[in-house]
Structure 1
């Protein structure tokens, strides 16, 4: 035992020993730490670039002249911080785990242990997970993309295809949306093929107003514009109107009616309230000016007690009488 101890001490005290495995282990640790630092720096740059795509939200703000709709940069900054934190934390965790797992395996190999069975087992486990958890990976990757690209956020009104409503929670795997009836939908991010967001930027109210075919188009157009402007100036819903109302012209034409299209740009999520107010005021204005909306596809049926008979008639060419028939 003493000889073995003396040999071990001599081996440890020699320079060749420290220049072999211990030096390589130290280099592995240093390189892993540097790679982790570089990865975190790169991820920080990525998240900073991602956050620049945040879209400002249009919100109502009280001023000396009353309420008006403005872009709220504070909300955008809050969303920017949330998105950067979420994406950055996930990417940093993944990078750290990958780097240090590889470093640990290399250190174990330097210590003289055979890691071939471990690598083989990890490969088999990876193949099994790739088949069993591919939908989970798909959900996480889609969730990272949705958050990074600012496709939706908490409080937005969205249409995700199968579910539409107000976003209550945005996760990396599942997004929660509550519809107008109160049902809370849990939507897997990997299953979302499209996102329709009604809360970003602005919205538009589009109304199709049918009038009689012989109506004066210029008069009806001016009436619609005047009514929309009155709604904008005198009603509470009109405060949500942005810009000037427009009549885009005749949208449809038939033998019974002409349909004019009125378009009004509004603040996001206010288009439905503005549409309801416009319909009520347009109806009153049309009644006051004597314009009537046509009754389409109207049928009048007269019912009698007996069927009318049809008398026989003689063909001028043959002189033969045609058989009598009855109308049904």
Structure 2
């Protein structure tokens, strides 16, 4: 390259307007970097929040400064409900993960939309029509997708408030069963027959959780009056000792059976209510085991479950009534037989008449003789009638 060419290149570079780089490109770069940094900072706060939710620890700064250990709400809940701490931690971690994922997604979408609008403004694009169109579209989407928004908001609060989780047995109205999946838009419930229900979170008006914290097995047992309440208490104590020997049943029972008392009375038995506090989803196992042990204990003691007593009274008719009934039945049978025979003969005569050839017309002499023969009988009939 000659010296003249080098001088022209340097001259062109010196004449280039470097202030352009300090304009739109620099602003766009700053906007992108700022959006990324803000997103990272917000995600950091969200991560700390979800970690605190997953840990479930409570404590004060004064207690920490004094060197006192923090009280774990997980341990307190495990002591109160009898659920192992690992299960409680896993459930809280799942809830925190779901909430964190939702908050992170919403933050990224909002920051990206704001950064895109700022970049368009830096490039001297008129974003007023875009904002107006976005406002109209937002109103239309708000009306059209209000059910979807309600589903997501309801799901968010369901997860935050820990109304139910995977593995819980819940009553959501028509859908009653075990929760298989919890999302921000819908919940999946498997009922006893195996049907998988997909329930939108916005349609859940009330939740009955049968396995949150602890459960209770309620048994209404009909006992006959020959078995006294003291006998029933002795049988309950013996049944409790038998159930405690089973490791699985013993682990499921949080307290010994409590006899609430007589629930109802009838003419043949009384219903005694017995309640047992159990772990979540273990009440049905304890109920079945208690009923089986109760039947064995009743068989040993010669007792029985109360049964409804029914007496059926049957009376025999008198001899005269029986004879008259037989005669009436026989006469009715004869009339039915005669009617059947007459109908059959009439059908046969009709068939035979149909099969024969048509007869010739009678003569005038035959008609006159027939009329003369019939006239006295008709007169006699009239006299008889008169």
> TM-score band, normalised by the shorter chain?
0.7 to 0.9
Aligned residues: 287
State the partner residue of 1:117.
129
Measure, in 1, the Cα distance between the counterparts of 2:85 and 2:294.
36
Out of 90, 93, 108, the residue aligned to residue 120 of structure 2 is 108
State the partner residue of 2:94.
82
State the partner residue of 1:43.
46
Change (3 A) 1:280 1:80: closer
Out of 203, 206, 221, the residue aligned to residue 209 of structure 1 is 221
Out of 199, 211, 231, the residue aligned to residue 219 of structure 1 is 231
Out of 193, 196, 219, the residue aligned to residue 181 of structure 1 is 193
Between structures 1 and 2, the one with greater strand share: 1
Measure, in 2, the Cα distance between the counterparts of 1:191 and 1:46.
29
Q: Which runs of 5+ in 2 are unaligned?
A: 1-13, 57-72, 319-386
State the partner residue of 2:155.
143
Measure, in 1, the Cα distance between the counterparts of 2:49 and 2:251.
40
Out of 315, 323, 326, the residue aligned to residue 304 of structure 1 is 315
Measure, in 2, the Cα distance between the counterparts of 1:73 and 1:132.
44
Change (3 A) 1:211 1:75: closer
| Greater RCO structure (CA 8 Å; 6+ sep) | 1
- Report deviation, 1:122: 0.8
Between structures 1 and 2, the one with greater helix share: 2
Which sits farther off after the overlay, 192-201 or 169-178?
192-201
Alignment of 1:290-301 (within 5 A): 290-296=302-308, 298-301=309-312
Alignment of 1:231-310 (within 5 A): 231-234=243-246, 237-296=249-308, 298-306=309-317
**TM-align CA RMSD:** 3.5
Change (3 A) 1:11 1:196: farther
Which sits farther off after the overlay, 162-171 or 253-262?
253-262
Measure, in 1, the Cα distance between the counterparts of 2:143 and 2:258.
55
Out of 193, 197, 204, the residue aligned to residue 209 of structure 2 is 197
User: Is 1:96–2:96 an aligned residue pair?
Assistant: no
Whether contact under 8 Å (1:224, 1:262) holds in the other structure is no
Which sits farther off after the overlay, 97-106 or 20-29?
20-29
Whether contact under 8 Å (2:99, 2:160) holds in the other structure is yes
Which sits farther off after the overlay, 84-93 or 280-289?
280-289
Measure, in 2, the Cα distance between the counterparts of 1:207 and 1:126.
56
State the partner residue of 2:70.
none
Measure, in 1, the Cα distance between the counterparts of 2:247 and 2:264.
30
Give TM-score, length-normalised by structure 2.
0.63
